[in-house]
Structure 1
Amino acid sequence: MSAVPSSLPFADNLPFEPDAVVTAHEATLKLVSRLNLAQLELGWMYPYPRGWCSVMSYTLLHVFDQRGFGPWRIVNGQDTLGNRHDWLEFMRDGDVLFSVDATQHQFSKLGSGPFIGHGCCPAKARFHIDVRTATLERMPTGWAKRAEIVVADEVTTALAQDS
């Protein structure tokens, strides 16, 4: 994954530097890769990135909040086959300015790595049915399951100790 150019026309209007989002993603992924899933009673989870979209989106939502990156939202959509997928969007005035899809590479046709960049992520075109969104302030009860909560807590605690 390459760094996002900071010279994007809207970069001055964002409450974060695009490169800082890349750095936060990389730090999160590094911590996630070190988690002992069995010890956390999450040994049933598939190897990353398969099935990790909700966990990574929820975790990054908390990491971005912890770092003061402004209000992001989790987007959950469904494709025509009934598969669901999650990613993050930063919006302003109804426009998606920046997206992070930490696990798009679990779908080979979407890309070979995570998407971190301006505008909508490639997944939005595929997962456009029954789209749901949530923010930290408006997280529906039951949206985050045990895996999302445990991993987000482990990662944000570790990042807070490192800073």
Structure 2
Amino acid sequence: MFAQLLHSLITHLPQYSQEGGHHTSVSREQLQHALQNTGNDPQAVAVLLDLIERLLSSTATLEPAVLAQQQWQFISFPARLFVLSLLQTLLDSDVQLLPATFWRSDRYEHSHTVDQQHELLAALETRRVQQHRGEKPAPIRFVAIAAAWFKLGQHFYYIAAK
């Protein structure tokens, strides 16, 4: 069902010409009807549209003023290509954006892969923080630290643990 919905969505996305800036927009209602007309559950369609709209909005590929009117319109031709690439990646189970072992840091001590993980996370988090409208995005990680001072005889000791 997911693949069918996503494939149908891709075929109904608005257009944007490579030259001349000619473009179309499509209302969210039109998208919803088009996806439901293929026999899909209305709730599943609504959830998919919410998710994809949020993804496209967070990647700055949709025109914000048009989106505020419940219309999808790409901001540029490259933005449309980016979205098509992203959605085709989600649609095709044979595609992976990263090698299968990329996140298996337990298999590497400090290696090039760990450096690549750090670079990718740093780039994503830097963009997430810089582009957050309220400038205070929710943290992705908390580090709990327990610390204690104690005296043993004439000596003071400090212990900290993460």
The TM-score with structure 2 as length reference comes to 0.28
Max Rg structure: 2
Q: Which has the higher strand share?
A: 1
Larger RCO, structure (CA 8 Å, separation 6 or more): 1
